[in-house]
């Protein structure tokens, strides 16, 4: 369920009240004076079903109401227990305006994203060097690469070219940082003598990270579906580990190959990474596209 809070002046108040009354999917409307303003304003509070959110936001923008005058938030519903219903009368479901907002927020290379991606790179690089699969899993848990991947998918499906390109650039920057950080770390370990003489990354038990086969394709395709579903439901943190299995290990392997030894294996890691990213974006976009066009507007059972 979504919750609308809006503050309107007396000129736009009647039209806005009429909109909330007439728009299907908006109910439990509360109207009261806005005591935070010197001039006369009225606060509207209403419950909004996800299916009605997009139309509501379009109408609000059409009325010229500024972004500082309203806010639409998601609230957890305890009762009645209808959280998993879909359709026009559902209280939980896909609100496109919510997905777009999350995509815009995650399409930028924020400092937190860059920090976490570098931390993931260090952990993954050490995992490749010492052939420790547990470290690889830890790096996947830390990595935030799921967010720009999903933002890219949203931009593609929505036809927002700038959003898609910006999110993809953020993802690309993250992968480049993983490779660069892993390469620099490997070089430092090599120069300080911590890396064994004659080290070749292909001797690592994780050398399969640079080999492309049918399992790579299937895992990446399935991960793209899981990525988009988790992005929509707010479960991105839990599912991020499964998504990063297709990106972080191959990127770190490539960096270690460049910096530590065994550069001949780098081409295989590049191919694996490119195929994985392409499939993640393709299946993620397809998942979102199917959801947008499913006939889910009929009344759900009580």
105 and 76 belong to one structural domain: no
In this prediction, residue 301 carries a pLDDT of 34
Total number of domains in the chain:
2
Burial class (CB in 10 A: 0-12, 13-18, 19+), 3: middle
62 and 83 belong to one structural domain: yes
89 and 228 belong to one structural domain: no
Task: Kindly state whether residue 80 falls inside one of the protein's structural domains.
Answer: yes
In this prediction, residue 71 carries a pLDDT of 94
Closest to 268 measured CA to CA, from 278, 276, 280, 260: 276
CATH number at residue 75: 3.30.70.120
Sign of CA dihedral 46, 48, 53, 56: negative
Determine the structural domain holding residue 150 and report its residue range: 100-293
287 and 179 belong to one structural domain: yes
187 and 242 belong to one structural domain: yes
Sign of CA dihedral 69, 109, 123, 194: negative
In this prediction, residue 23 carries a pLDDT of 93
In this prediction, residue 302 carries a pLDDT of 32
11 and 39 belong to one structural domain: yes
Tens digits of pLDDT across the chain (302 residues): 899 999 999 899 999 999 999 999 999 999 999 888 778 899 999 999 888 898 999 999 999 998 889 999 988 777 765 544 444 455 556 677 888 888 999 999 999 999 999 999 999 999 999 889 899 988 988 889 989 999 999 999 999 999 999 999 999 999 999 999 999 999 999 999 888 777 888 777 777 777 888 888 998 899 899 888 888 776 555 555 556 677 898 899 999 999 988 777 678 889 999 999 999 999 999 999 998 776 544 333 33
75 and 109 belong to one structural domain: no
Domain boundary among 75, 93, 111: 93
Give the integer Cα–Cα distance in Å for 225 and 257: 30
Nearest-10 crossing angle of helices 161-191, 248-260: 40
143 and 267 belong to one structural domain: yes
Residue with tokens 């770390």: 185
48 and 127 belong to one structural domain: no
122 and 82 belong to one structural domain: no
Domain boundary among 77, 93, 109: 93
CA separation, residue 210 to residues 14, 45, 281 (Å) = 64, 55, 20
152 and 214 belong to one structural domain: yes
33 and 106 belong to one structural domain: no
Q: Read off the tokens for 88.
A: 């026009």
C-beta separation of 100 from 158 below 8 A: yes
In this prediction, residue 198 carries a pLDDT of 78
Task: Kindly state whether residue 11 falls inside one of the protein's structural domains.
Answer: yes
Task: Kindly state whether residue 53 falls inside one of the protein's structural domains.
Answer: yes
């Amino acid at each position: 369920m979504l919750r609308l809070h809006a503050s309107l002046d007396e000129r736009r108040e009647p039209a806005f009240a009429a909109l909330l009354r007439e728009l299907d999917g908006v109910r439990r409307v509360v109207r009261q004076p806005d005591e935070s303003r010197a001039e006369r304003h009225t606060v509207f509070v209403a419950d909004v079903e996800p299916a009605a959110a997009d139309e509501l936001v379009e109408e609000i923008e059409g009325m010229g109401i500024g972004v500082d005058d309203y806010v639409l938030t998601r609230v957890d519903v305890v009762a009645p227990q209808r959280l998993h219903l879909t359709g026009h009368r559902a209280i939980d479901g896909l609100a496109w305006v919510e997905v777009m907002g999350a995509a815009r927020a995650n399409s930028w290379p924020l400092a937190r994203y860059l920090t976490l991606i570098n931390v993931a790179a260090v952990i993954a690089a050490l995992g490749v060097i010492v052939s420790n699969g547990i470290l690889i899993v830890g790096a996947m848990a830390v990595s935030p690469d799921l967010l720009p991947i999903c933002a890219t998918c949203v931009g593609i499906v929505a036809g927002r070219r700038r959003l898609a390109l910006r999110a993809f650039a953020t993802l690309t920057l993250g992968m480049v940082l993983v490779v660069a950080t892993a390469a620099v770390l490997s070089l430092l370990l090599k120069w300080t003598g911590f890396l064994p003489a004659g080290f070749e990354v292909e001797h690592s038990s994780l050398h399969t990270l640079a080999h492309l086969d049918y399992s790579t394709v299937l895992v990446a395709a399935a991960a793209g579906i899981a990525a988009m579903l988790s992005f929509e439901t707010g479960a991105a943190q839990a599912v991020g580990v499964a998504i990063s299995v297709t990106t972080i290990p191959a990127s770190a392997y490539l960096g270690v190959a460049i910096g530590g030894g065994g550069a001949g294996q780098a081409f295989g890691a590049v191919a694996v990474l490119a195929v994985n990213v392409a499939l993640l974006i393709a299946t993620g976009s397809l998942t979102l596209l199917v959801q947008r066009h499913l006939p889910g507007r009929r009344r759900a059972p009580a």
